[in-house]
Amino acid sequence: MIDFKVSSLPVSLFSICTEAGISIIENKDVNELRQGESGVSVKQGDNWYIIIEDTEILQRQRFTIAHELAHILLGHEMRSGYYTRRENMVKSDDETEADMFAARLLAPACVLWGINAQTAEQIASVCNISREAAKIRAERMETLRKRGKFLTSPLERQVYQQFESYIKNNRL
Integer Cα distance of 28 and 76 in angstroms: 26
Give the model confidence (pLDDT) of 36-53 as tens digits: 899 999 888 889 999 999
Residues in the chain, overall count: 172
pLDDT of residue 76: 81
pLDDT of residue 91: 60
Burial 93-122 (b: 16+ CB within 10 A, else e): ebbebbbebbbbbbbbbbbbbbbebeebeb
pLDDT of residue 24: 98
Q: Is the peptide bond before 10 cis (omega within 30 degrees of 0)?
A: yes
CA distances from 70 to 41, 62, 66, 76, 98 (A): 10, 12, 6, 8, 5
pLDDT of residue 68: 94
Give the model confidence (pLDDT) of 132-164 as tens digits: 999 999 999 999 999 998 999 999 999 999 999
Report the CATH architecture of 1-106. Orthogonal Bundle (1.10)
pLDDT of residue 82: 53
pLDDT of residue 78: 67
pLDDT of residue 149: 82
pLDDT of residue 43: 87
Give the model confidence (pLDDT) of 54-94 as tens digits: 999 999 999 999 999 999 999 887 654 555 544 555 567 88
Integer Cα distance of 101 and 107 in angstroms: 10
| 149 CB-side CA count, 13 A | 8
**Sign (positive or negative) of CA dihedral 73, 75, 76, 78:** positive
Q: What is the mean pLDDT of residues 2-25?
A: 97
> What are the structural domain ranges in the chain?
1-106, 107-172
Give the model confidence (pLDDT) of 94-124 as tens digits: 889 999 999 999 999 999 999 999 999 999 9
